[in-house]
Structure 1
């Protein structure tokens, strides 16, 4: 991982302000020489990395020295850059002196920076000598941009659901039948199998089954894992079935009782279905129900579905239980799954020796012992190497048929086959996240970019490159796709299998890439004998000061309670979620900080000096309610690109934030009396926005007119207007707009004649139209796939032939004046889902409704 460290330094050093000035005495030249030497040393790293992995202790020391020197070089270069940025924003007489001369304090700083650069260069010279003595070969290939393959065939197969259902169709049907039939007593079904056998995915396929969804009135899914808190599970269940959660900062047993009681009372007269996924211990049931019987047995035919690796856990549940032991796939089903990943039909024609490859493939599939995860990962790996020689080598190198060693060998091969150290670093980063967590891809991409793990590629933005990384990891079955964005088509949320994550945790610690620490790990434990970690992930830690090495660059935390964060001056990334922070540290001295995420945290106050963080690009405080207002100095940081805030106070005036790409503001009950036109002016000058999310009690009416100068906007979410008159003409909206959510108490005029002309619109959510008719013309909404109408009071919906040719998902909420569905819906050949919420005037005898059902459109009522 030393290669990724050097590449990160070189990548981030390419656009520094220090290069644009001639007033840094000899420092500018020194920085240039330092960069040249880093580029030279980068050439040694591939050979050094290989020798280190073979156990060469002397090379291991060298790799450690290279990485330490690279990070030290990055720190000193950025100190010079920070000084230059700081001087540029100074005003008045002092500012003029700072820009065109040097203050004594600057000269002292420059002297120190120059001395530090000389020290780092001496270290690099010693490293070159050591590399030559160790006979490490010079690799002159340099860094080559990886061209992503257009593997669209695999993209349609990369969900874990598709993988596990090969060979498990009968078991899926059997489990669904047991859930929806039988007596009315509360009963459980337990799926038991070893890791990688497909328990969770089979359970999820059952959970999302239309038969199950229609049968039960309330459903919930919670992942238990090895380390869980009862109150967290209960809050999760309550949020899913009731829609609320206890956000109290100090959860005690009394509140746990209250949450459990709320769940019990809500479920008492309902037929409910709850999935407890990945249960490890026999006392889990007692821990969940220790204060109150959470899951009542009211003879309503309710069911519990449990997945576990241990049969004694399945038998321990105190109710009638059917234990379903998941069988391994037989040889034929194993080959079917393996070949679907390794030899998709669209690739077979390009293989010269396809029969020989198939014969080898059957032998390799058999080696996987019927485990779906092993078959999927191995098949995806071999799909990148479609020749008999590679497959034969794989068969000859097979080290063991024991399941644990087998999976590790397959994962290690897939990891090494990733096309660059950037890719490998991004994959290892999953070690930072909690077991069984669903990961938002947009969040993941932002942190990858902040960590300099995404290379600069021609014709691609960093975000585009990162999304291609996610796609490639999914194609290789190294991550599992949970959901896709209908508006954008890209992967939206992912998860990583426990076995793959455990491998990442161990490999990341051994490489010194990242140290994952939880309440079972000795805090402060080193990554290895020689490799010092520069990244730390803390999970489920309570009541202490978190320990990390002084040069740490990344601090990630989940579910921390009453902890104090260390003051680490070289931090570039702080990412903490669902935590109670004690004495949140002053961060104004963290001049390297690029990424600050404190999501759903308590006891947080930003220092007034936050404006000194001149490198800050990403600030995310979603669901974190600050003890004090957001300092005005925040908006003077010119590097800001993504800002997510909850519960903020009035926006500043006379602030230019023209480079901001994402603005996400959830202001809750705060209304226009605090903002008025100030908010309109503030947002209106952000011409580079791609995403605007604004939620407040009353959005200023003028906000609807600001989009004419925002050509890059693709997502707009505005709620809630009081009254919306006529919308702006369609050409005043961004033509790149893909998702639009507008909510108002009253929309006076039919919005469809304007919005249907937006050429890129894919998702449309509207609330509040009160006209008598609504009209959608032919050729309107050419790309619309999802339409949700809420609180519409029109009596007639006119749809011309040819409108909405791609609409697949339609929802009508509280549209109480619509007495019949428009016949035009029958001409929408792509319509597959229709959901009606409180649409009581539309009877089951409605002709359009009956015809849609006959055409196999899924119709649901709530």
Structure 2
């Protein structure tokens, strides 16, 4: 659940839409109202919501604001905790029992909003159940509080509606599309006159989808002053996009094909993280090094900046000195990484039960949104192990990376015993787990382990070695 500090450069377009939505927020009924924004993936729903959220008139109008991304696999207590933390300014309380948290947090959030005029943004809602899980925490005391919900699904928009009809976000007109493309390629430099015609032709092919425009700009700016390069990209767009409706994903394929080979595994590795995850850059770079995608931290930082420059990775938050602290990817980019990883047998992301007989990848990421995370992970690893015993080829002999995301409870020793069977494991990230105690003997059999992280009681234990095997 990312707070609203992504895309730290200027946004272009949607000026008329921004003003319409601002009027929905500051005028109209005194009762609590929901403003649903509907649009397809990559159309700019989050962008317009961000512009409205950061508008000075909106900031002045509301007492408190909170931004929360929902994602397809959400955790109710984490959502409530996220919104409560934004509203009150308090820190997350971390690992707690969901049974205790949900009712208590819902009540605390409702009480904290009771005497305030609030604006809540619930970004990227996929399921009406998420609204049912949250709506009773938003009190209506007749002070013009508002909630913005962005969604791809019209049925979700209709379900969350109170007074305001769902707002269907239009596609960017051609002039704004061209303006966005030129800005993303040249920033403040301005587009040279000799490239304006071809930039307009390329913008027209992007069909008014901001994400497509941004991805194309990321390809173009590698050779931005060469007219022949612009025409080559225009020709590529014709062959990639054709008449298909899946412009964002097909453009993502074009972006991927134009990445240097050494950056491709780094991008695909983003699929190891859950949807809407704000990824700590220090952790990501350490994982890349442990995987031997890159040799040192300086080179890893350069790789990340190349991916950001290509517009396939977004800056989520910066340090005071300007360095990137957190990054994330658009859900379209994440979907592409998952599909491409499956196609190339690069990585498997597990979000629920599945048949281990389908498992052929040597990198696995477990991501669950409910309180049974540890049980489900242990159960699935047991399935892997039992599969290996039947085939006489242990699943773990080829496993290189094992990562879990989302918060969980205490892990038992049986879980670690099974993990210790993964003889060539190089990356073990169980930082979503808590364990009573561990000793160095736990890792004794993992002779290739480069990095591991997990929660030991109230602290994070980090185990690091140098990369021992460059060929794995």
TM-score of Structure 1 vs Structure 2, range by shorter chain? 0.7 to 0.9
CA distance in 2, matches of 1:608, 1:359: 64
Deviation at 1:167, TM superposition (A): 1.7
Q: Counterpart of 1:326?
A: 169
Q: Does the alignment pair 1:585 with 2:423? A: no
- For residues 177-203 of structure 1, the C-alpha deviation after alignment (integer angstroms, 9 at most, x for no partner) is 432344432112121111101111221
Deviation at 1:347, TM superposition (A): 8.5
| Partner SS for 2:302 | helix
Q: Counterpart of 1:513?
A: 346
Q: What pairs with 1:3-402 in structure 2 (closer than 5 Å)?
A: 160=7, 162=9, 165-242=11-88, 243=90, 245=92, 247=94, 249-252=96-99, 255-289=101-135, 293-317=136-160, 319-343=162-186, 346=189, 355=194, 357-386=195-224, 387-397=226-236, 398-399=238-239, 400-402=241-243
Q: Counterpart of 2:284?
A: 444
CA distance in 2, matches of 1:359, 1:442: 42
Deviation at 1:339, TM superposition (A): 1.7
Deviation at 1:505, TM superposition (A): 0.5
Deviation at 1:315, TM superposition (A): 2.3
CA distance in 2, matches of 1:404, 1:436: 24
Structure with the bigger percentage of helix: 2
CA distance in 1, matches of 2:435, 2:326: 29
Q: Counterpart of 1:576?
A: 404
CA distance in 1, matches of 2:443, 2:213: 52
- For residues 532-567 of structure 1, the C-alpha deviation after alignment (integer angstroms, 9 at most, x for no partner) is 3111112218444224867xxxxxxxxxxxxxxx99
| Partner SS for 1:602 | strand
Question: Does the aligned pair in 2 maintain the 1:315–1:321 contact within 8 Å?
Answer: no
| Partner SS for 1:513 | coil
Question: Does the aligned pair in 2 maintain the 1:604–1:626 contact within 8 Å?
Answer: no
Aligned residues: 439
CA distance in 2, matches of 1:525, 1:567: 10
CA distance in 1, matches of 2:281, 2:314: 12
Judging changes above 3 Å, is the alpha-carbon distance between structure 1 residues 323 and 596 closer, same or farther for their aligned structure 2 residues?
A: same
| Partner SS for 1:437 | coil
| Partner SS for 2:437 | coil
CA distance in 2, matches of 1:391, 1:208: 34
CA distance in 1, matches of 2:198, 2:220: 11
CA distance in 1, matches of 2:324, 2:215: 19
Q: Counterpart of 1:832?
A: none
Q: Counterpart of 1:741?
A: none
Deviation at 1:223, TM superposition (A): 1.3
Q: What pairs with 1:713-732 in structure 2 (closer than 5 Å)?
A: none
Question: Does the aligned pair in 2 maintain the 1:338–1:365 contact within 8 Å?
Answer: yes
Judging changes above 3 Å, is the alpha-carbon distance between structure 1 residues 595 and 536 closer, same or farther for their aligned structure 2 residues?
A: closer
Q: Counterpart of 1:478?
A: 312
- For residues 580-633 of structure 1, the C-alpha deviation after alignment (integer angstroms, 9 at most, x for no partner) is 3344313666665554433242345324524736665544345x5269x98xxx
Q: What pairs with 1:567-646 in structure 2 (closer than 5 Å)?
A: 568=396, 572-577=400-405, 578-580=407-409, 581-582=411-412, 583-586=414-417, 592-607=424-439, 609-610=441-442, 612=444, 617-621=450-454, 624-625=456-457, 639=465
Deviation at 1:403, TM superposition (A): 5.5
Question: Does the aligned pair in 1 maintain the 2:8–2:315 contact within 8 Å?
Answer: no
Runs of 4+ in structure 1 deviating by more than 6 angstroms, as ranges, are none
Deviation at 1:227, TM superposition (A): 2.1
Q: Counterpart of 2:470?
A: none
Identify the match of residue 258 of structure 2 among 395, 414, 417: 417
Q: What pairs with 1:737-748 in structure 2 (closer than 5 Å)?
A: none
Deviation at 1:168, TM superposition (A): 1.1
Question: Does the aligned pair in 1 maintain the 2:362–2:399 contact within 8 Å?
Answer: no
Judging changes above 3 Å, is the alpha-carbon distance between structure 1 residues 597 and 538 closer, same or farther for their aligned structure 2 residues?
A: closer
Question: Does the aligned pair in 1 maintain the 2:36–2:160 contact within 8 Å?
Answer: no
Compare relative contact order (CA 8 Å, sep 6+) and give the higher one, 1 or 2: 2
Identify the match of residue 465 of structure 1 among 280, 295, 299: 299
Question: Does the aligned pair in 2 maintain the 1:167–1:329 contact within 8 Å?
Answer: yes
Question: Does the aligned pair in 2 maintain the 1:617–1:640 contact within 8 Å?
Answer: yes
Deviation at 1:161, TM superposition (A): 5.8
Q: Counterpart of 1:664?
A: none
- For residues 404-443 of structure 1, the C-alpha deviation after alignment (integer angstroms, 9 at most, x for no partner) is 4332332112112112x22000011111111122111111
Q: Counterpart of 2:390?
A: none
CA distance in 2, matches of 1:480, 1:260: 32
Question: Does the aligned pair in 2 maintain the 1:533–1:549 contact within 8 Å?
Answer: no
| Partner SS for 2:403 | strand
Q: TM-score by structure 2 length? A: 0.82
| Partner SS for 2:315 | strand
| Partner SS for 2:124 | strand
- For residues 831-862 of structure 1, the C-alpha deviation after alignment (integer angstroms, 9 at most, x for no partner) is xxxxxxxxxxxxxxxxxxxxxxxxxxxxxxxx
| Partner SS for 1:584 | helix
Structure with bigger gyration radius: 1
- For residues 336-390 of structure 1, the C-alpha deviation after alignment (integer angstroms, 9 at most, x for no partner) is 11122335564867xxxx62x4322211210111111101111221222443334
Judging changes above 3 Å, is the alpha-carbon distance between structure 1 residues 452 and 368 closer, same or farther for their aligned structure 2 residues?
A: same
Q: Counterpart of 1:546?
A: 380
Judging changes above 3 Å, is the alpha-carbon distance between structure 1 residues 161 and 200 closer, same or farther for their aligned structure 2 residues?
A: farther
Point out where structure 2 has 5 or more consecutive residues left out of the alignment. Answer: 1-5, 386-393, 468-472
Please identify, of 231-240 and 329-338, the stretch whose mean Cα deviation from structure 2 is larger: 231-240
Q: What pairs with 1:791-810 in structure 2 (closer than 5 Å)?
A: none
Question: Does the aligned pair in 2 maintain the 1:246–1:259 contact within 8 Å?
Answer: no
CA distance in 2, matches of 1:245, 1:393: 49
| Partner SS for 2:364 | strand
Point out where structure 1 has 5 or more consecutive residues left out of the alignment. Answer: 1-158, 457-461, 551-565, 642-862
Judging changes above 3 Å, is the alpha-carbon distance between structure 1 residues 514 and 237 closer, same or farther for their aligned structure 2 residues?
A: same
Judging changes above 3 Å, is the alpha-carbon distance between structure 1 residues 283 and 591 closer, same or farther for their aligned structure 2 residues?
A: closer
Question: Does the aligned pair in 2 maintain the 1:593–1:615 contact within 8 Å?
Answer: yes
- For residues 796-821 of structure 1, the C-alpha deviation after alignment (integer angstroms, 9 at most, x for no partner) is xxxxxxxxxxxxxxxxxxxxxxxxxx
Judging changes above 3 Å, is the alpha-carbon distance between structure 1 residues 251 and 611 closer, same or farther for their aligned structure 2 residues?
A: closer
CA distance in 1, matches of 2:466, 2:61: 49
